[in-house]
């Protein structure tokens, strides 16, 4: 179920999807099919992988690692990850917002995030070592963003980004720290930054496909115009809306069979 509303004049739909990349991917696909949005954000909490991260800090995921891919050979785990970059447009808008007075009360970091299928609560574990050796630039870990990124890859005209609040340090103290209310505080900070980012998006962004009735990429294709000596080949179907196309041989051109 989606809750819909408006934020600074922008239509917004929100859903709570639960844990796991598979669920995230499935429901993200449903959201895209239903609303055909300009942008999609995954907002929530994450475990911090760096001691300099404070509880409540916000991380904008510049890259998402699906770190569970690999090959186990004898005693070695050979990493075979997948990775997705954040939308360049959303990242640039987020960096601009993070420098503004409006977001000055939030500490926002721009770094990669690791997304897998387990809750990490010990950085001295085998998984902790794997992350340090193979995904050394990841500063946070969670369980959904790889699914969201996959849905975004399949829908290339949707801008996708992950925004996470740090609720613990994945260091064995998760339950104790969570009991202090750190998850709610971290989620609030992530949601605050996401809402401010949505409000800061350019006013001239393309309309959603739902409003136009046509995919945005189709609208771009329809702007192609042949003129001059350009030739247009048509196998089947109908071409309409262009007045200056002449079928047959272009002026001063020999019949097709006589051309070299």
Q: Is residue 234 part of a domain?
A: no
Q: Would you call 159 helix, strand, or coil by DSSP?
A: strand
Number of domains in the chain: 1
Q: For residue 90, give the CATH number of its domain.
A: 3.40.50.1580
Q: Would you call 164 helix, strand, or coil by DSSP?
A: strand
Q: Is residue 257 part of a domain?
A: no
Q: Which helix (H) or strand (E) holds 93?
A: helix 88-98
Which residues span the domain enclosing 46? 3-211
Spatial CA neighbour of 160 closest among 147, 143, 177: 147
Torsion-angle region of 56 (φ positive above 0: left; ψ -120 to 50: alpha; else: beta): left
Q: Is residue 47 part of a domain?
A: yes
Q: pLDDT of the chain along its 260 residues, tens only?
A: 999 999 988 999 999 988 888 899 999 999 999 999 999 999 999 999 899 999 999 999 999 998 877 777 787 777 788 889 999 999 999 999 999 866 668 999 999 999 887 777 666 677 777 778 777 889 998 989 999 999 999 998 899 999 999 998 877 777 788 889 999 999 999 999 999 999 999 876 655 445 555 544 443 344 444 455 555 555 555 445 545 545 455 455 555 454 44
pTM of the model: 0.74
The percent of residues above 90 in pLDDT, for the chain, comes to 47
Q: Which two tokens stand for residue 227?
A: 């003129």
Q: Is residue 242 part of a domain?
A: no
Residues 6+ apart with CB under 8 A from 73: none
Q: Is residue 7 part of a domain?
A: yes
CA distance 191 to 45: 10
Q: What does each C-alpha distance from 3 to 6, 165, 188, 192, 195 come to in angstroms?
A: 10, 22, 17, 17, 15
**What pLDDT score does 156 carry?**
84
CA distance 211 to 157: 15
Residues 6+ apart with CB under 8 A from 223: none
The percent of residues above 70 in pLDDT, for the chain, comes to 74
**What pLDDT score does 32 carry?**
95
CA distance 31 to 14: 9
Q: Is residue 106 part of a domain?
A: yes
Q: Is residue 259 part of a domain?
A: no
Report phi then psi at 98, rounded to 5.
-65, -25
DSSP states of 101-148 as a string?
Answer: GGGTTS-EEEEEEEE-SS----TTSHHHHHHHHH-TT--EEESSHHHH
Q: Is residue 50 part of a domain?
A: yes
């Amino acid at each position: 179920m989606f809750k819909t509303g408006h934020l600074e004049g922008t239509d917004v739909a929100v859903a709570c999807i639960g844990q796991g990349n598979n669920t995230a991917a499935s429901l993200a696909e449903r959201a895209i099919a239903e609303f055909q949005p300009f942008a999609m954000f995954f907002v929530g909490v994450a475990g911090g992988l760096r001691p300099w991260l404070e509880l409540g800090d916000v991380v904008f995921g510049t890259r998402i690692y699906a770190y569970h891919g690999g090959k186990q050979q004898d005693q070695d785990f050979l990493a075979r990850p997948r990775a997705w970059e954040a939308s360049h447009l959303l990242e640039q808008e987020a960096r601009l917002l993070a420098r503004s007075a409006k977001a000055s009360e939030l500490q926002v970091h721009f770094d990669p995030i690791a997304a897998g299928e387990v809750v990490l609560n010990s950085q001295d574990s085998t998984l902790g070592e794997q992350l340090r050796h193979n995904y050394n630039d990841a500063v946070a870990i969670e369980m959904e963003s790889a699914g969201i990124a996959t849905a975004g890859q399949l829908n290339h005209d949707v801008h996708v980004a992950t925004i996470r609040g740090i609720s613990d340090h994945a260091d064995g103290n998760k339950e104790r720290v969570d009991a202090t209310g750190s998850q709610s505080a971290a989620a609030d900070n992530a949601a605050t930054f996401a809402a401010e980012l949505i409000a800061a998006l350019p006013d001239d962004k393309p309309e959603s496909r739902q409003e136009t009735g046509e995919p945005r990429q189709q609208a771009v294709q329809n702007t192609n115009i042949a003129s001059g000596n350009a030739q247009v080949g048509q196998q089947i179907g109908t071409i309409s809306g262009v007045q200056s196309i002449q079928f047959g041989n272009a002026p001063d051109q020999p019949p097709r069979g006589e051309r070299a």
